[in-house]
């Protein structure tokens, strides 16, 4: 079959769906093509932390903050358009520390961030244990980030996709893109199994597979998969109230009483099986931090493939080609960064200029 659209987006993860949503709001017809289902890869596996992620004034920290502030209104818009509650919840986040060295390091962030007006507090061990009594008494204290939040990612991506469809977008699912169509240096669309989709602009948002799309294009997009495993336990009544970050672990208490324990960082290619070793490592560390977890219910474990790029997020037009853009390499913060990425892709395509300094993210 042959289709024609304004924009074709390769990948129906958080990034591709956010781009489709922003384009559809501008009345552009976007076709989103995926080899599988909507949001079933990294975006489904994610813990959904929408946090400060990066401190300071770097372009990356600014990108994170610009995206974080979009979430409350976006969650409302998605609820109005689709009836789906994405469970955006500003639960606050705690960076807990156990050693003098960890405390010194976090003190640096605390001073720098609070002097710039970021809502962060330093808590003593007593204050921390008053707020989170299930933490081990071995804790020395924490930084409390007031604006840290979480979102239920499978719902979030589904809501973005449904909202985009309501505004006119089309999804073509179960069809891998196998060819990028070109006329000279201009990209004119894609072939996906038996579909030919011609478009004025093409967006590569294929997550950990973006490097493979780069090969089809004949341009190196150096994104590789980084496996992350998560363990889910049920703690009723809830043991924790805030998202907890420790040096090599995070804990995300969900509103339904489930607790996510994440996550491993493994460079093992496209293998996304959860493993006994991964589960053991996560549970071992979680039990050190929250000993009472031992008596709660193990539910399941899963893994996903983060799009990792050594040079960081890749965002913008592909050099030397016309009509093709990349939005990938979001690594551990692709859910947090999805609203701003969707908006910037819309700005590149529709406005020709962007509202943030994105020089550092260009290919």
Ligand X SMILES: Cc1cc2nc3c(=O)[nH]c(=O)nc-3n(C[C@H](O)[C@H](O)[C@H](O)COP(=O)(O)OP(=O)(O)OC[C@H]3O[C@@H](n4cnc5c(N)ncnc54)[C@H](O)[C@@H]3O)c2cc1C
Please give the span between the terminal C-alpha atoms of the chain, in angstroms, as a whole number. 32
User: Exactly one of 189, 253, 334, 339 binds ligand X (CB under 6 A); which one?
Assistant: 334
211: contact with ligand X by CB under 6 A: no
Of the pair 35, 122, the CB lying nearest ligand X is at: 35
DSSP H helices, the chain, are: 14-25, 42-45, 59-68, 71-82, 100-115, 125-131, 153-166, 210-217, 276-289, 338-346
Q: 216 near 204, Cβ under 8 Å?
A: no
36: contact with ligand X by CB under 6 A: yes
Neighbours of 141 (CB within 10 A): 22
User: Exactly one of 92, 141, 189, 207 binds ligand X (CB under 6 A); which one?
Assistant: 207
CA distance 219 to 317: 12
H or E stretch at 124 = strand 120-124
Q: 274 near 203, Cβ under 8 Å?
A: no
59: contact with ligand X by CB under 6 A: no
251: contact with ligand X by CB under 6 A: no
228: contact with ligand X by CB under 6 A: yes
CB of 353 vs ligand X, minimal distance in Å: 24
46: contact with ligand X by CB under 6 A: yes
> With contacts defined by CB under 6 A, how many residues of the chain interact with ligand X?
42
Of the pair 63, 122, the CB lying nearest ligand X is at: 63
Of the pair 290, 305, the CB lying nearest ligand X is at: 305
User: Exactly one of 209, 219, 325, 348 binds ligand X (CB under 6 A); which one?
Assistant: 209
User: Exactly one of 142, 230, 290, 345 binds ligand X (CB under 6 A); which one?
Assistant: 230
Q: 362 near 327, Cβ under 8 Å?
A: no
Scanning the structure block, which residue is given the tokens 């079959």?
Answer: 1
Contacts with ligand X, residue ranges (CB under 6 A):
10-16, 33-36, 40-43, 45-49, 176-177, 205-209, 228, 230, 262-263, 304, 306-307, 328, 330-336
């Amino acid at each position: 079959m042959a289709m024609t659209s304004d924009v074709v987006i390769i990948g129906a993860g958080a990034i591709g769906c956010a781009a489709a949503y922003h384009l559809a709001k501008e009345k552009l017809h976007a076709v989103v093509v995926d080899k599988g289902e909507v949001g079933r890869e990294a975006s489904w596996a994610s813990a959904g932390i929408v946090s400060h992620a990066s401190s300071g004034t770097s372009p990356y920290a600014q990108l994170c903050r610009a995206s974080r502030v979009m979430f409350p209104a976006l969650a409302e818009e998605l609820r109005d358009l689709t009836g789906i509650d994405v469970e955006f919840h500003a639960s606050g986040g705690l960076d807990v520390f156990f050693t003098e060295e960890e405390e010194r390091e976090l003190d640096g962030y605390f001073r720098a961030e609070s002097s710039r007006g970021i809502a962060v507090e330093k808590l003593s061990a007593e204050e921390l244990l008053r707020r989170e009594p299930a933490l081990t008494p071995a804790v020395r204290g924490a930084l409390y980030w007031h604006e840290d939040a979480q979102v239920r990612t499978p719902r979030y991506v589904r809501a973005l996709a449904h909202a985009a469809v309501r505004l006119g977008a089309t999804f073509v699912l179960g069809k891998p893109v196998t060819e990028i169509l070109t006329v000279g240096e201009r990209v004119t669309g894609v072939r996906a199994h038996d579909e030919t989709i011609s478009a004025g602009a093409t967006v590569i948002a294929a997550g950990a597979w973006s490097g493979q799309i780069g090969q089809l294009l004949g341009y190196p997009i150096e994104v590789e998969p980084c496996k992350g495993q998560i363990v889910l336990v049920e703690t009723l009544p809830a043991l924790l109230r805030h998202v907890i970050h420790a040096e090599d672990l995070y804990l995300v208490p969900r509103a339904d009483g489930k607790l996510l324990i994440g996550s491993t960082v493994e460079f093992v290619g496209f293998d996304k099986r959860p493993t006994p070793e991964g589960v053991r490592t996560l549970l071992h560390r979680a039990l050190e931090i929250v000993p009472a977890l031992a008596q709660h219910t193990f539910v399941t474990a899963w893994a996903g493939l983060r799009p990792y790029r050594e040079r960081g997020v890749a965002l913008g037009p592909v050099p030397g080609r016309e009509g093709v853009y990349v939005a990938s390499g979001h690594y551990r913060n692709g859910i947090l960064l999805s609203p701003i990425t969707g908006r910037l892709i819309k700005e590149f395509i529709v406005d020709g200029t962007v509202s943030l300094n994105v020089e550092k993210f260009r290919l």
